[in-house]
C-alpha cells in the first residue's frame, strides 16, 4: 500500500492521519476536506465559542508541528464527489482524480434542517464553525430564541443563550428530553435543569410551521396551535451521515457506511470511522455513534485493519459522552439502551450532583453523572474493565 486517502478532515480524519503514521505507514497520505478550515474541535461551538469567550484559533485539534511531522497532503475546501474503490480512484470537486490503494471514509454528516426554512433568515443549524459564526452574529441583545430539539446540542445552545441573557424557548417532540439515552426519570432531571434557568420548555409537541416578516423568521407554530415569537430559531434535530458521494461505489450504505466489527467494509481497502461509520457489534447489531469519543477512538482499530488488509482487531466503544449545560457537567458512559434498572449510587438529583448506574439483568451497563467527575471516573473504568477494554 503506497497511497491512502482520508476523506474527511474533522476529528476522525485527523486521528486517522495520526494513526497511519503512528502505525508505521510511510507512504503518501492525502486528506480531502470539504471545509476550508484546518481540523478544529466541535464541542466548544455550542458553548464557549458561541458565547464569544473562546477564539477560533484555539479550536485547533493539532499543533502545527505535529501536522508537519505527519507529512500529509491537505486538500481543504474540496469535496470528494465519487469513488471507484475497485479502480482505486477518488473524484474531487476540482475535477482532479486521486489514485489510491486505501481509503478511510471520515466524512461525518450534515445537520438535519427544519422543513420549510431553507429560504428563511434567522434559522440556524449548528455543526460547523461557519454555522457557529453565523448563529453567533444573530444572537444580539434582546433576541428571542427558539431551539427545536432538547438533545445534547439543543440543550447546550439553550444554555449558552441564557448565559448571554436571551429569552429562550425549547420545543421537544418527546415527552422528556433525551429519553432514549437516559430514560424517563433521568430525562426529567434534564428538563428540570432548563426550568431552573428560566427556559420555557415545551415537551411532547412538534413543530407545525413558521411565520415570517418578509424573508426572516419571526415565530414558530407548534402542533398544539401555540405560537412562539422568535427572532432566532436553532434546529437541534440530529444529523444525517454524509454518504451521498458513495452512491454507485458498490459500498453498502444504510444510515451510514456498513462495516464489520473492525470498521472494515466488504472491500478490505476501504474502512469508515466517526459519525459516518455504522459498524457491527460483536453481538451482531449494526450501530452508529455520533460523538467526539467515538470519532477519536475508532481510527486506532480501523487503520490497523486497513494496513493489515483484513480485520485483525475489533472496535469496542467506550460510549463516553459529556455535556456542559447551565454550569453543570453531565457525563455518560456505557450502553444504556435496554437497561431494565437505574439505581442512584451517590448524591441526589435535587442537589444537581449525583451518579446513577444503568443495569441490565443485574449487571452494570452504563453510568450517568452530574457534577461528580471523580466517582464517575472510577465507575467508568470499572465498566470498561468488565467489557474487556
Cβ proximity of 314 and 282 under 8 Å: yes
Per-residue pLDDT at 187: 92
Most confident of 118-122, 299-303, 314-318, 379-383: 299-303
Q: Which three cell numbers stand for residue 126?
A: 449548528
Q: What's the rounded mean pLDDT across residues 344-354? A: 92
**Residue in the block written with cell 484555539:** 58
Collapsing DSSP states into helix, strand and coil, what is residue 171?
strand
Percent of the chain with pLDDT over 90: 86
Query: What number does CATH give the domain 3-44+55-110+239-308?
Result: 3.50.50.60
- Residue 81 and residue 91 in contact, taking contact as beta carbons nearer than 8 Å: yes
Answer whether 113-235 and 327-386 agree in fold.
no
Q: Let me know the angle formed at the C-alpha of 163 by 157 and 166, rounded to the nearest 5 degrees.
A: 80
Would you report the helix, strand and coil content of the chain in percent, each value rounded to 5? 30, 35, 40
Q: Is the pLDDT of residue 338 over 80?
A: no
- Of the chain, the percentage scoring pLDDT greater than 70 comes to 99
Angstrom distance (rounded) from CA 93 to CA 66: 28
257 close to 278: Cβ distance less than 8 angstroms: yes
pLDDT band, very low/low/confident/very high, at 301 (cuts 50, 70, 90) = very high
Q: For Cα atoms 238, 379, 41, give the angle at the middle one, nearest 5 degrees.
A: 40
pLDDT at residue 317 greater than cutoff 90:
no
Give the strand order in the sheet containing 97-99: 80-84, 89-92, 97-99
pTM for the full predicted model: 0.94
Residue ranges per structural domain of the chain = 3-44+55-110+239-308, 113-235, 327-386
C-alpha–C-alpha distance, residues 367 and 320, integer Å: 9
Sign of the CA dihedral running 123, 126, 128, 134: positive
pLDDT exceeds 90 at position 336: no
Average pLDDT over residues 53-60: 96
Q: Is 95 exposed, middle or buried (0-12, 13-18, 19+ CB in 10 A)?
A: exposed
| Rounded distance between C-alpha atoms, residue 387 and residue 379, angstroms | 12
At 111 the pLDDT is 95
CA 87 vs CA 97, 257, 302: distances in Å: 11, 19, 21
Mean pLDDT of the chain: 94
Report residue 183's pLDDT band, with 50, 70 and 90 as the boundaries: confident
Average the pLDDT over 41-66 and give the result.
95
With CA atoms as reference, report the closest residue to 352 among 380, 327, 332: 327
- The burial of 304, by beta-carbon neighbours within 10 Å (0-12 exposed, 13-18 middle, 19 or more buried), is given as middle
Q: Are 370 and 155 in contact (CB under 8 A)?
A: no
* CATH, domain 113-235, list 3.90.76.10, 1.10.510.10, 3.40.50.720, 3.50.50.60: 3.50.50.60
Residue 187 C-alpha cell reads as: 430525562
In order of 24, 301, 333, the CA distances from 304 in angstroms are 10, 5, 25
Position 389 confidence tier, pLDDT thresholds 50, 70, 90: low
Question: How do residues 1-27 score in pLDDT, each as one tens digit?
Answer: 899 999 999 999 999 999 999 999 999
254 DSSP assignment: S
Residue 221's H or E segment, with its range, is strand 216-222
Alpha-helical (H) ranges within the chain are 11-22, 48-51, 64-70, 129-138, 152-163, 179-196, 292-308, 373-386
Among the residue ranges 106-120, 141-155, 337-351, the one predicted with the least confidence is 337-351
Q: How far apart are CA 389 and CA 378, in angstroms?
A: 15
3-state secondary structure of 272: strand
Mean pLDDT value across residues 75-90: 96
Provide the CATH number for the domain formed by 327-386 in this structure: 3.30.390.30
Task: Quote the pLDDT of residue 228.
Answer: 98
| Distance separating alpha carbons of residues 153 and 178, to the nearest angstrom | 11
pLDDT band at 49 (very low <50, low <70, confident <90, very high): very high
CA distance 32 to 28: 13
Amino acid at each position: 500500500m503506497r497511497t491512502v486517502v482520508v476523506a474527511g478532515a474533522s476529528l476522525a480524519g485527523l486521528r486517522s492521519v495520526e494513526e497511519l503514521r503512528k502505525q508505521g505507514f510511510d507512504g503518501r497520505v492525502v486528506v480531502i476536506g470539504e471545509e476550508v478550515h484546518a481540523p478544529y474541535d466541535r464541542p466548544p461551538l455550542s458553548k464557549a465559542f458561541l458565547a464569544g469567550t473562546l477564539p477560533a484559533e484555539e479550536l485547533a485539534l493539532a499543533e502545527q508541528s505535529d501536522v508537519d511531522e505527519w507529512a500529509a497532503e491537505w486538500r481543504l475546501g474540496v469535496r470528494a464527489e465519487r469513488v471507484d474503490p475497485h479502480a482505486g480512484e477518488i473524484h474531487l470537486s476540482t475535477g482532479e482524480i486521486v489514485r489510491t490503494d486505501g481509503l478511510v471514509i471520515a466524512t461525518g454528516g450534515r445537520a438535519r434542517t427544519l422543513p420549510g426554512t431553507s429560504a428563511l433568515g434567522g434559522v440556524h443549524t449548528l455543526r460547523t464553525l461557519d454555522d457557529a459564526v453565523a448563529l453567533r452574529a444573530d444572537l444580539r441583545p434582546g433576541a428571542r430564541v427558539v431551539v427545536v430539539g432538547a438533545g445534547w446540542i439543543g440543550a447546550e445552545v439553550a444554555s449558552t443563550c441564557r448565559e448571554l441573557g436571551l429569552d429562550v424557548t425549547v420545543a421537544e417532540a418527546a415527552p422528556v428530553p433525551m429519553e432514549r439515552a437516559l430514560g424517563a426519570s433521568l430525562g426529567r432531571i434534564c428538563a428540570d435543569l432548563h426550568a431552573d434557568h428560566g427556559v420555557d420548555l415545551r415537551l411532547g409537541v412538534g413543530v407545525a410551521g413558521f411565520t415570517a416578516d418578509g424573508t426572516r423568521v419571526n415565530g414558530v407554530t407548534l402542533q398544539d396551535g401555540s405560537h412562539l415569537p422568535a427572532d432566532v430559531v436553532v434546529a437541534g434535530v440530529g444529523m444525517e451521515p454524509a454518504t451521498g458521494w458513495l452512491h454507485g461505489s458498490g459500498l453498502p450504505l444504510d444510515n451510514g457506511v456498513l462495516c464489520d466489527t473492525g470498521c472494515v467494509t466488504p472491500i478490505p481497502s476501504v474502512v469508515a470511522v466517526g459519525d459516518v461509520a455504522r459498524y457491527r457489534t460483536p453481538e451482531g447489531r449494526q450501530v452508529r455513534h455520533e460523538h467526539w469519543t467515538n470519532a477519536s477512538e475508532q481510527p486506532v482499530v480501523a487503520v490497523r485493519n486497513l494496513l493489515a488488509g483484513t480485520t485483525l482487531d475489533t472496535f469496542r466503544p467506550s460510549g463516553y459522552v459529556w455535556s456542559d449545560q447551565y454550569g453543570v457537567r453531565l457525563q455518560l458512559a456505557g450502553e444504556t439502551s435496554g437497561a431494565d434498572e437505574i439505581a442512584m449510587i451517590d448524591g441526589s438529583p435535587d442537589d444537581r450532583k449525583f451518579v446513577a448506574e444503568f443495569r441490565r439483568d443485574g449487571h452494570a451497563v452504563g453510568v450517568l453523572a452530574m457534577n461528580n467527575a471523580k466517582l464517575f471516573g472510577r465507575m467508568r473504568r470499572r465498566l470498561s474493565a468488565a467489557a474487556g477494554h
